[in-house]
């Protein structure tokens, strides 16, 4: 059974930093593309960042480029999201997701999801 468990969310002031973690089990982690999405109340789920399984290449949503960094540790079966220079508009529930084969920024193409971790940025 695949499980993705996010942690590291919380309340932070604008300009601050947080690091999210997503621990994976029940899958061959180093064969999976990993991604972070977020969803704010009343909004659609939004792609934040993704990292490929074979070369570690990364991609980011336009709203977080230059501020967020995704990374993975295959030995620990964990993917991270370092979030710097946080803004109130970054407030959302952040989800970790996993998929095989081709990389995608579309949430509908990810079969495995975590339960989410809340990030709240105060102004």
Of residues 24, 57, 61, 67, the one with CA closest to residue 43: 61
pLDDT at 14 over 80: yes
d(Cα 14, Cα 5) in Å, to the nearest integer? 26
pLDDT in tens, 19-46: 999 999 999 999 999 999 999 999 999 9
pLDDT at 101 over 90: no
- Return the structure tokens found at 85: 């220079």
Of residues 75, 32, 25, 27, the one with CA closest to residue 51: 32
């Amino acid at each position: 059974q695949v499980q993705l468990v996010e942690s590291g969310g919380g309340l932070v002031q604008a300009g601050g930093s947080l690091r999210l973690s997503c621990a994976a089990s029940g899958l061959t982690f180093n064969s999976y593309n990993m991604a972070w999405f977020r969803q704010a109340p009343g909004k659609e789920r939004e792609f934040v960042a993704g990292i490929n399984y074979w070369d570690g290449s990364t991609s980011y949503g336009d709203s977080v480029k230059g501020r967020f960094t995704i990374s993975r540790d295959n030995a620990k079966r964990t993917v991270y999201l370092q979030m710097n220079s946080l803004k109130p508009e970054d407030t959302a529930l952040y989800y970790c997701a996993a998929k095989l084969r081709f990389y995608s920024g579309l949430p509908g193409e990810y079969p495995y999801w975590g339960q989410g971790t809340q990030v709240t940025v105060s102004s």
